[in-house]
Amino acid sequence: MGRSWTPRLTKHDGEGWHLHYRDGDEELPRVLAAVISVGTSLHLVTRGMDRLTRCAAEPCTRVVVDVTRNGRQRYCSVRCANRAAVRRHRARG
């Protein structure tokens, strides 16, 4: 088993503070896992857990990460939003 990965807050070379997600010799799958997990964590910490929901379109079960300013994103994609709108329209008529 490989060494454990931990993000590190660093400051060097005259740059501002930033996170290091990997050592220089990490393989791509581990780097992607690190970046995705830290990005998701930062999003949820800054925006709130209510920004992570399931798509409102039936029968879709995908996850929606709401990145809108007003916090009103309900669908995982434009496709699901359009399908839901068509269903509502048909249900009225």
pLDDT digits (tens, 9 = 90+) for 45-62: 888 888 889 999 999 999
Q: 40 pLDDT exceeds 50?
A: yes
Task: Work out the pLDDT band at 77, boundaries 50, 70, 90.
Answer: very high
Please, what is the Cα angle at 47 between 28 and 10, to 5 degrees? Answer: 50
Contact assessment for residue 8 and residue 23, using Cβ atoms and an 8 Å cutoff: no
User: Do 60 and 37 share a domain, yes or no?
Assistant: no
Residue 36 placed within a domain = yes
User: Do 43 and 59 share a domain, yes or no?
Assistant: no
Other beta carbons within 10 Å of 84: 17
Task: Work out the pLDDT band at 1, boundaries 50, 70, 90.
Answer: very low
User: Do 43 and 54 share a domain, yes or no?
Assistant: no
Summarised one tens digit per residue, pLDDT across range 5-17 is 667 788 887 878 8
Domain residue limits at 35: 7-47
Other beta carbons within 10 Å of 74: 15
Q: 33 pLDDT exceeds 80?
A: yes
C-alpha distances (whole Å) from 35 to each of 81, 83, 86, 90 are 28, 32, 37, 42
User: Do 65 and 39 share a domain, yes or no?
Assistant: no
Q: Domain tally for the chain? A: 2
